[in-house]
Amino acid sequence: MLFSGGRRKKHIANPQTDLYAHALQFYGQPPLENISLSEFETFAVDRLKLLKTVENLGVSYVKLSEQYTKKLENESKNLNFPHRLDINKSTDKRRKDYISHFILRLAYCQTEDLRRWFIQQEVDLFRYRFSDLQPKQKLEFLHRNNLQYDTISIEEKKTLLDKLVNSSYGVSGITVEDQDFYKVPFQDALDLVRTRKVYLKAGYVYIPHQDIVTIVLNDFRTRLSKALALTARSLPAVHSDERLQPLLNHLSHAYVGQDYSIQKNVGKISLEQIDSVRKSFPLCMRQLHQALRENHHLRHGGRMQYGLFLKGIGLSLEQALQFWRSEFIRGKVDADKFDKAYAYSIRHMFGKEGKRADYTPYSCMKVILSNPPSQGDHHGCPFRHSDPELLKQKLQFYKVPPSGISQIMELVKGMHYQLACQKYFELTHNIDDGSFSLNHPNQYFIESQKALGGGKDLKKEMDMSQRSQENSAARRPAAAPECYECKCIFQEILNN
């Protein structure tokens, strides 16, 4: 593994730049150049923000609709990624896009859930970019990537005219003459065959130029899936670098928003208010609060998740000790045992014991992906970890209407757990369309208090305390060298 202590050298034209010659990519060859660790981190976090936007827009709007396209174009522009591919010639933006894709491959190849999420968002991003190309550029892309699908001759087109018109959506006799049709093996177009959108004859389908995107997306999905499997087998070699491993582990469930750790709002919530403000708790925290009140005990995972949430909404260390002690001694734990067995961990989460780290409240991604609950546990995400029937009962208990429950369960079925929680927020607060993207339980609390008219001051305090971790979700190791050689990572993968 090679590092350099000096500044990164100015990017000089070389064969590597050929990778960035085109705005739309299948990402076939890995980047083999030096980048700084700070650039490595920034690229990864920015792409994660972009993919999160793709996910949220894909559920909120019809894909490729005017609103969807406009919002995604604006986000691409804000994050300095390629946009309006027909006119954008920025090599720097294309380089960032290319390298950041491969960095997230390393982070999101580790589990089946991570791979599935990453592939879906990358495919949707690719669809948006491909649709932005002109017909001539699409054809050039196909040829450049060895998708040598033959166009049928004018004579064959005239012979099949009626069949092409009757079997192809949105095609008339006039448009058949004006556009190319591709003759493709049917196994490469199963989605179009399944939905009966193309003419099938002798093992080949005839696809109008406007529908060729389906074939390209299937090809991209297959290539990416195979590449992630290959990357996963090579992870042990990558993780042997102790300076890189923390970055990748954080990226796989990175939260790119406010961390709610600064305690300017300490004392804003008192012990007496906890029960009265619980209506502003997200479902995961209401579940923990109810279990604590009923059982007078929570296991370690539940204490950490709920304790840090309470810390984030303003409970001080003294109040937290009093809160947990008063609840535990109502059960099977006396005051002496509490002080010996539990008080230390509470002081620890406030940074008063051990390494004195200021632990931050868990983000939605951390709750969803880390430490799944086992029998007897109450932590985790109800939308991710609850049995579907049990989740329906909980939603009914909190007076979510049947139509709303159906919408939430559809989002859960599609593994859009944060969007399901946001829909729960909208339904329980009588809001048609939330003006925020939900990423954190403490964010849910603040937005709820704001919607209910009780959180204006709290919201102001939290906004004042927001840190610059918008661009540092993956924390850099303390004594990391300045530059890192990508070649070492990706060449290791190629050799396996």
Q: Is 421 annotated as a binding residue?
A: yes
Tell whether the model's pLDDT for residue 429 goes beyond 90: yes
pLDDT at 466: 44
Query: pLDDT tens digit string along 401-411?
Result: 999 999 999 99
- Answer for the pair 169, 197: CB distance below 8 angstroms, yes or no: yes
- Answer for the pair 126, 135: CB distance below 8 angstroms, yes or no: no
Spatial neighbors of 116 by CB under 8 A, at least 6 apart, are 415
Whole-number average pLDDT of the chain: 83
Q: Is 483 annotated as a binding residue?
A: no
- Answer for the pair 178, 209: CB distance below 8 angstroms, yes or no: no
Question: 71-77 long-range CB contacts below 8 Å, 24 or more apart?
Answer: 72/128, 75/49, 75/50, 76/50
Spatial neighbors of 358 by CB under 8 A, at least 6 apart, are 261, 350, 351
pLDDT at 495: 53
Which DSSP symbol is given to 203? T
Tell whether the model's pLDDT for residue 10 goes beyond 50: no
pLDDT at 192: 84
- For residues 372-377, give the mean pLDDT: 92
Lowest-pLDDT choice from 125-139, 306-320, 323-337 = 125-139
Lowest-pLDDT choice from 134-138, 228-232, 345-349, 448-452 = 134-138
Measured between its terminal Cα atoms, the distance across the chain in Å is 17
Spatial neighbors of 360 by CB under 8 A, at least 6 apart, are 259, 260, 261, 308, 312
Query: pLDDT tens digit string along 144-190?
Result: 888 877 788 888 888 888 888 888 776 666 667 777 888 888 888 88
pLDDT at 11: 45
What residue segments make up the domains of the chain, in order of their start?
Answer: 16-142+219-252, 146-217, 278-453
Q: Is 284 annotated as a binding residue?
A: yes
Lowest-pLDDT choice from 115-129, 230-244, 292-306, 415-429 = 230-244
Query: pLDDT tens digit string along 470-485?
Result: 444 444 443 344 455 5
User: What is the reported pTM?
Assistant: 0.66
Tell whether the model's pLDDT for residue 244 goes beyond 80: no
Tell whether the model's pLDDT for residue 58 goes beyond 80: yes
Structure-token match 């303390």, residue found:
478
Confidence of residue 266 (pLDDT cuts 50, 70, 90): low
Q: How far apart are CA 297 and CA 161, in angstroms?
A: 73
- For residues 75-101, give the mean pLDDT: 84
Confidence of residue 284 (pLDDT cuts 50, 70, 90): very high
Query: pLDDT tens digit string along 330-362?
Result: 999 999 999 999 999 999 999 999 888 888 899
Q: Domain spanning 16-142+219-252: which CATH class is it, in words?
A: mainly alpha
pLDDT at 44: 92
Q: Is 109 annotated as a binding residue?
A: no
- Answer for the pair 377, 457: CB distance below 8 angstroms, yes or no: no
Q: Which amino acid is at 47?
A: R
